[in-house]
Amino acid sequence: MKSRLTNVNWLSVAGRGLDCPFKPELLGRPVLHDVTGDRILDSFVHLDCWTGDSRYPTTVLVHDGASDPTAPRQLGTLLTFGDDT
């Protein structure tokens, strides 16, 4: 199994979709796992927003590993923790 998304700049691609008051942060490396059943590894991307205080809103996004690396297709949002959690 392979993925076309191994060299994506996730901060540029997915980070801009977050409503961060400051620059978003990528937490670790994306986790690769086939969730679409096409035998191509999809990417689980964990991002958070640095807010300048103790709140760090965080999101895990899932992208289709068969999609174009310059514009990865988001399959969905696995989870989102708001700035009040």
Tell me the pLDDT tens digit for each residue of 14-55. Answer: 887 777 777 888 989 999 999 999 999 999 999 988 777 766
Q: Identify the pLDDT of residue 54.
A: 67
What is the model's pTM?
A: 0.84
In a domain, 2, yes or no: no
The answer to whether residue 2 scores a pLDDT higher than 90 is: no
Q: What is the pLDDT of residue 82?
A: 65
Distance CA 38, CA 18 (A): 28
Q: Residues 51-75: pLDDT tens digits?
A: 777 667 788 999 999 999 999 999 9
Number of compact structural domains in the chain = 1
Residue 4 lies in a domain: no
Euclidean distance between CA atoms 61 and 54, whole angstroms = 22
Task: Determine the residue type at 79.
Answer: L
Nearest partner of 20 among 41, 56, 49, 60, judged by Cα:
49
Q: Nearest Cα to 85, choosing from 58, 48, 47?
A: 58
User: 53 with 62: CB under 8 angstroms?
Assistant: no
32 assigned to some structural domain: yes
